[in-house]
Amino acid sequence: MSQPCLVPAPARLTLDEGSPFLLASDVALVMTTDAAGVADAAAELRRLIAARTGIRLAAPTPANGQEPHLRLSLEHDGPAESYRLSSDAGAVHVAGADAAGLFYGVQTLVQAITTDASGWRIAAMEIEDTPRFAYRGVMLDVARHFLDVATVCGYIDRAAGLKFNALHLHLTDDQGWRIQMHSRPRLTEKSATSSVGADGGGFYTHEDYRAIVAYAGRHHMIVVPEIDGPSHTHAISLAYPELCAPPVVSAQLRRQSEEDGSALPLGGVAYEGIGVGFSSLRIRDEATYTFLADVLTELAALTPGPYLHIGGDEALGTDAEDYDRYIARVSRLVAETGKTAIAWHEAGVCGGLAEGTIGQYWGFVSPTDGMDEKTRGFVRRGGRVILSPADAIYLDMKFDPDSPLGLTWARGVTSARRSYEWEPTAVIDGIDQAQILGVEAPLWSETVRTSADIDALAFPRIAAAAEAAWSPALGALPLRTWESFRARVGGLGPLWRSLGIRFTALSEIDWTPAEPITVQGDNT
């Protein structure tokens, strides 16, 4: 009996000896209620089955005894986002504890579809599944290169299919400001036109941003917007030069400029290189905090999710005392909007950090330079931690030394195996599972310009991050091993191709060949 290729690995999977469920155009799609969450899940299931198999199921019907049928319900009494899936020759039933759980059960069902001489089929099995961590995120950097609404929504589709539930948008950096602020219109007039390599800029209007938030919501994802500071703020100097200190040009920055041929940063002039740490807001000027209060209040009003990200990383040009002052003020500004602040791990040692601030760790799987102690600071102040170890799940790292995409600063090329073989609870001593809010896989855009670039860098390694975020601990299940993962991900190749995901077929993975798709039925 072959193992279904399910990613992330479910908490409990039992295969039965019975005959499989055969999927065809005459299969009924049954909803036990017309609640919005069930109807949305039914629409998603029809869309995915059509893409995967060419079969176009008829519109869903109320519950009845007709067989064969696919049944969707909210009849599971498990925790939030959990689901139960059962299948035999007569029916497949997906029951969610809530709308999100049902949506995730639908993703699992579609992954379980295989084909042989008898046609499209779903093995007889029972699944009980629940997420390990509450926060399962992906990050897109839209500041180094702007990515339009359609590209962002396409990434939401892909991430939601792997049970991620948060999209972190890195909206501001040295190279550009990407969100319209009615309170500060010069930001999009003057700070949004540049990017790495002079590739052009762009920004999201309020309507664009609301469209992204709404699309994410329909896929059971929150949006976490980031306004980085006090460094990564050079773009602000184009619109409000009085708020920014002069760039601090280090020897490292000069070397970076020589390597990539970019000009050194100059206040008030667009920066198109990839150097970091040279910019800083004027920490002791009250005008800075008036500006930030305007921006954070407006952004909070646009964002229904609970978090605002304040950055805090790589402030190499900022005095340590000033850095502490900045983080204390800005984390409290976020609290005043009714949101919870998230900050990169450097902020964890700031004495004035607002209680409950979430820390995001971006160091290596084995911490260096006291990064672990900084991260523990968030827990001491009543917060929790999001893990984003750069040498495992930074998706912008090269997957091959010859790839034109990606960087290598996080311990060189990051293989799929290295992306997979790490355990969240083993990264920071003294931080246990209860103190970990979740896992997030960032994708920085120094070399990313298109949705195809995103696919090539993210897939298949994004699946490793998904499994770290959703599934039980590494080694806790027979499925939670590298050998199992490389086979299961390889089995998703046909599904990913049918969904238009332009993944990189890494040689580490046992890829299943593409399958011909024949459209069956004409129901819409």
Give the residue numbers marked as catalytic: 314
Nearest Cα to Cα of residue 30 among 57, 64, 53: 64
Strands (E), 241-339: 307-311
Cβ contact 418:393 at 8 Å: no
Q: How far is CA 323 from the centre of its chain?
A: 28
Other C-beta atoms closer than 10 Å to the C-beta of 119 total 13
Q: How far apart are CA 22 and CA 37, in angstroms?
A: 26
Residue with tokens 């999710």: 305
Residues in contact with 477: Cβ distance below 8 Å, sequence separation at least 6, in sequence order:
9, 11, 471
Phi, psi (degrees; rounded to nearest 5) at 356: 85, 0
Residues in contact with 502: Cβ distance below 8 Å, sequence separation at least 6, in sequence order:
452, 455, 456, 459
Cβ contact 168:142 at 8 Å: no
Strands (E), 298-369: 307-311, 340-344, 358-361
SS3 312: coil
Kindly state the tokens that stand for 284: 């002791």
Residue with tokens 């011909």: 516
Q: How far apart are CA 169 and CA 28, in angstroms?
A: 39
Nearest Cα to Cα of residue 245 among 208, 288, 202, 211: 288
Nearest Cα to Cα of residue 308 among 322, 320, 292: 292
Q: How far apart are CA 32 and CA 60, in angstroms?
A: 10
Residue with tokens 């209007």: 205
The β-bridge relationship of strands 91-96 and 28-31 is unpaired
DSSP code at position 163? T
Q: How far apart are CA 173 and CA 233, in angstroms?
A: 5
Angle at 46 between CA 89 and CA 15, to 5 degrees: 30
